[in-house]
């Protein structure tokens, strides 16, 4: 055949048609046994002992079971998982767990006490981000078969809540050790199992890891050897999708769940999908630095009071959007010990002016630093800072806004050198003891210049709360501690940004869980 120039000219069109023809009809349609979830990835590793990012919790929770866990959105009640609810010694230093003998890993081998000891020691010794969860904890075999005893140096009634974190999920020790894993002292240098755990999984959960691509998607396959109830989907694909595309994907049916929507996007989608907008677990707060060496103005207690009374909290909550909430103090609304909103400070312009006059500072001016390059669930810190600036101006305080990229902001914030700032705290584990760090002389307290001994009554209550094991008494103590914190401390809670998501109506409604965002193992198709 002679190929003419005209034929060459139409060649690209013919090739395009041929390529289009290669895509069989329905090639883009989705398999009903696959669940697709869109989220903007915050993911660094598939190794439970090294992970501490929200997306890692989301995708590893179905793969690595923990000794105890939570159900649905309730983070106040622990439920058994691989083990029973622990027996806690009265001194809150010894915790005894009993393993469920039916539990087995995805390769069919049983979950043993040795696996638990290996997993916990590995978390401690690889010295990754979650290592602190087991600081001062010793793990050993109990007297009976299947018994594990955890001993702490200090009383720690919050320990069981830390153990529900997927980072302390139980791994198959034999498999991990066979793939260069180590739990010994010095594992931060000798453990090389991270790459192996990114290619396959070594857990006992209802799903196994099939693909781990930190930039594109994580694919989970059903664990056919699972020892518990069979999950609904054969495969779950969690994709890294920009927030701008997530709404369109779920409306179009390309995905079933979109996890990173803004509250204002929900209106457009509510007829086509289930929407959920609830307070997230992060608490955005502000502080005026109590260290006079950083700022004599910020450290003045009357000035601090003037600032607290000047802020229009309702206005800031409106900026945060529907679904956002304001906790009464620093503990978020879904945790035991949270205070109701009305326990927090209220706006009173006249009282603020009076407090400012009492401070003796004429025409005060202060630098207000905020993070400029990220948002919290769609809420811009610049908007919040601008609102605060306007509120403060009304009472005669000049706030000079200082935007800062997060990478430099964190250094200054952690060094305690910011006179006044808006910042956030995400829970490390769902227990009020995580917030004792806001006390005087504690880690976050020091960032706000609140030195040890500055408020002995706050410290006293904190000491009691830290060791109390009776849940009702704990709640009372944390209530009292937060009220004292509100009255004496440099911190003021502003809001909990809303977590806004949408899920397809082909699914049963999905619940939010502040630990792993949503429980992928509990998602099921809508009942007919």
Partner 1 sequence: MSFLRSAWYALPNLVRFVIRRLFVGLLLCLGITLVSFALTQVVPGDPVSANLGDRAASDPEIVAAFRARYGLDKPVPQQYLLYLERLVHGDLGESQQTKRPVTTDLAQYLPATIELATAAMILALVLGITLGVVAAIGRDRWPDQVIRVISLAGVSIPTFWLALVTFYIFFFKLGIAPGVGRLNPGGKAPPSITNMFTIDALLSGQWTTLGIAASHLVLPATVLAIYTVGSITRFTRAAMLESLSQDYVRAARAKGLPERTVILRHALRPALAAIVTVAGMAFGRMLSGTVLVESVFSWPGIGQYAYKSALALDLRAIMGVSLVVAAIYILVNMAVDIIYALIDPRIRLG
Binding positions for partner 1, rule: CB under 8 A:
12, 19-24, 27-28, 30, 34, 36, 44-45, 50, 52, 127-132, 188-189, 194-195, 211, 213-217, 219, 235, 237, 239-242, 244-245, 248-249, 251-252, 254-255, 373, 405-408, 410-411, 414, 425-426, 428, 443
Nearest approach, Cβ of residue 71 and partner 1 (Å): 26
Q: Is the distance from CB of 526 to CB of 503 less than 8 angstroms?
A: no
Q: Give the residue with the Cβ less far from partner 1, 115 or 282.
A: 282
Taking the C-alpha atoms of residue 76 and residue 336, their distance in angstroms, rounded to an integer, is 6
Nearest approach, Cβ of residue 163 and partner 1 (Å): 16
Nearest approach, Cβ of residue 16 and partner 1 (Å): 8
Q: Give the residue with the Cβ less far from partner 1, 413 or 499.
A: 413
Among the listed residues 66, 98, 101, 72, the one whose alpha carbon sits nearest the alpha carbon of residue 85: 98
Q: Give the residue with the Cβ less far from partner 1, 97 or 409.
A: 409
φ and ψ at 119, to 5 degrees?
Answer: -60, -45
Q: Give the residue with the Cβ less far from partner 1, 82 or 283.
A: 283
Taking the C-alpha atoms of residue 517 and residue 481, their distance in angstroms, rounded to an integer, is 28
State the number of CA atoms in the 13 A half-sphere of 271 facing the CB: 1
Nearest approach, Cβ of residue 219 and partner 1 (Å): 5
Range list of β-strands (E), 466-526: 491-495, 498-504
Q: Give the residue with the Cβ less far from partner 1, 145 or 373.
A: 373
Q: Give the residue with the Cβ less far from partner 1, 164 or 307.
A: 164
Q: Give the residue with the Cβ less far from partner 1, 240 or 389.
A: 240
Query: Among positive and negative, which fits the CA dihedral 448, 454, 457, 463?
Result: positive
Taking the C-alpha atoms of residue 439 and residue 311, their distance in angstroms, rounded to an integer, is 23
Q: Give the residue with the Cβ less far from partner 1, 241 or 484.
A: 241
Nearest approach, Cβ of residue 245 and partner 1 (Å): 5
Taking the C-alpha atoms of residue 110 and residue 112, their distance in angstroms, rounded to an integer, is 6
Phi-psi group of 365: left, alpha or beta (phi > 0 → left; psi -120 to 50 → alpha; rest → beta)? beta
Nearest approach, Cβ of residue 207 and partner 1 (Å): 13
Q: Is the distance from CB of 151 to CB of 140 less than 8 angstroms?
A: yes
Q: Is the distance from CB of 3 to CB of 14 less than 8 angstroms?
A: no
Q: Give the residue with the Cβ less far from partner 1, 219 or 261.
A: 219
Taking the C-alpha atoms of residue 21 and residue 15, their distance in angstroms, rounded to an integer, is 10
Nearest approach, Cβ of residue 264 and partner 1 (Å): 16
Nearest approach, Cβ of residue 447 and partner 1 (Å): 10
Nearest approach, Cβ of residue 94 and partner 1 (Å): 24
Q: Give the residue with the Cβ less far from partner 1, 115 or 428.
A: 428
Taking the C-alpha atoms of residue 317 and residue 320, their distance in angstroms, rounded to an integer, is 5
Nearest approach, Cβ of residue 272 and partner 1 (Å): 11
Q: Give the residue with the Cβ less far from partner 1, 307 or 520.
A: 520
Instruction: Determine the length of the chain.
Output: 528
Question: Tokens for 36?
Answer: 């697709």
Q: Give the residue with the Cβ less far from partner 1, 30 or 94.
A: 30
Burial degree of 409 (CB within 10 A; 0-12, 13-18, 19+): buried
Q: Give the residue with the Cβ less far from partner 1, 254 or 508.
A: 254
Nearest approach, Cβ of residue 299 and partner 1 (Å): 23
State the number of CA atoms in the 13 A half-sphere of 405 facing the CB: 2
Taking the C-alpha atoms of residue 195 and residue 46, their distance in angstroms, rounded to an integer, is 8
Nearest approach, Cβ of residue 316 and partner 1 (Å): 23
| Pairing outcome for strands 491-495 and 257-261 | unpaired
Nearest approach, Cβ of residue 417 and partner 1 (Å): 13
State the DSSP H helix or E strand holding residue 94, giving kind and residue range, or none if neither: strand 94-98
Taking the C-alpha atoms of residue 278 and residue 500, their distance in angstroms, rounded to an integer, is 7
CA angle, 405 then 407 then 410, to 5°:
100
Burial degree of 10 (CB within 10 A; 0-12, 13-18, 19+): exposed
Q: Give the residue with the Cβ less far from partner 1, 35 or 150.
A: 35
Taking the C-alpha atoms of residue 162 and residue 275, their distance in angstroms, rounded to an integer, is 30
Nearest approach, Cβ of residue 131 and partner 1 (Å): 6
String of DSSP letters for 253-275: TS-SEEEEE-GGGHHHHTTTEEE
φ and ψ at 333, to 5 degrees?
Answer: -60, -25
């Amino acid at each position: 055949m002679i190929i003419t120039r005209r034929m060459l000219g139409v060649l690209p069109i013919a090739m395009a048609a041929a390529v289009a023809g290669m895509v069989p009809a329905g090639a883009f349609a989705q398999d009903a046994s696959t669940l697709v979830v869109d989220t903007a990835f915050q993911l660094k590793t598939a190794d439970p002992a090294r992970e501490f990012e929200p997306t890692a919790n989301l995708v590893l929770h179905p793969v690595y079971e923990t000794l105890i866990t939570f159900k649905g959105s309730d983070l106040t009640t622990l439920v058994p998982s691989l083990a029973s609810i622990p027996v806690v010694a009265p001194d809150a230093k010894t915790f005894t767990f009993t393993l469920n003998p039916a539990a087995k890993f995805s390769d069919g081998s049983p979950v043993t006490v040795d696996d638990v000891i290996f997993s916990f020691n590995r978390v401690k010794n690889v010295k990754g981000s979650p290592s602190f969860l087991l600081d001062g904890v010793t793990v050993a075999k109990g007297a009976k078969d299947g018994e594990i005893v955890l001993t702490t140096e200090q009383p720690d009634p919050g320990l069981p809540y830390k153990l529900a974190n997927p980072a302390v999920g139980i791994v198959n020790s034999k498999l991990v050790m066979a793939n260069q894993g180590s739990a010994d002292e010095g594992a931060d240098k000798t453990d090389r199992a991270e790459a192996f755990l990114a290619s396959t999984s070594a857990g006992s959960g209802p799903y196994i890891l099939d693909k781990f691509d930190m930039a594109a998607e994580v694919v989970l396959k059903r664990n056919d050897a699972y020892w518990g109830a069979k999950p609904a989907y054969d495969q779950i694909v969690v994709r890294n999708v920009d927030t701008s595309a997530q709404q369109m994907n779920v409306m179009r049916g390309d995905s079933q769940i979109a996890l990173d929507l803004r509250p204002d996007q929900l209106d457009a989608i509510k007829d086509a999908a289930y929407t959920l907008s609830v307070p997230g677990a992060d608490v955005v707060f502000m502080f005026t630095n109590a260290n006079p060496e950083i700022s004599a103005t910020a450290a003045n207690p009357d000035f601090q009071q003037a600032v607290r009374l000047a802020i229009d909290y309702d206005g800031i909550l409106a900026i945060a959007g529907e679904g956002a909430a304001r906790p009464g103090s620093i503990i978020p609304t879904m945790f035991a010990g949270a205070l109701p909103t009305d326990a927090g400070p209220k706006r009173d312009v006249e009282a603020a002016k009076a407090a400012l006059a009492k401070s003796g500072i004429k025409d005060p001016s202060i630098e207000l630093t905020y993070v400029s390059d990220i948002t919290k669930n769609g809420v811009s810190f610049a908007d919040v800072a601008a609102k605060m600036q306007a509120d403060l101006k009304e009472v005669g305080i000049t706030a000079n806004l200082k935007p800062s990229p997060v990478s430099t902001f964190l250094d200054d914030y952690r060094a305690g050198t910011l006179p006044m700032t808006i910042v956030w705290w995400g829970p490390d584990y769902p227990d009020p003891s995580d917030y004792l760090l806001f006390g005087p002389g504690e880690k976050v307290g020091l960032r706000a210049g609140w030195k040890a001994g500055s408020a002995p009554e706050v410290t006293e209550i904190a000491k009691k709360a830290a060791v109390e094991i009776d849940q009702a008494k704990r709640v009372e103590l944390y209530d009292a501690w937060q009220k004292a914190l509100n009255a004496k401390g440099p911190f003021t809670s502003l809001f909990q940004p809303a977590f806004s998501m949408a899920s397809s109506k082909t699914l049963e409604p999905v619940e939010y869980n502040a630990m792993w965002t949503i429980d992928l193992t509990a998602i099921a198709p809508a009942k007919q």
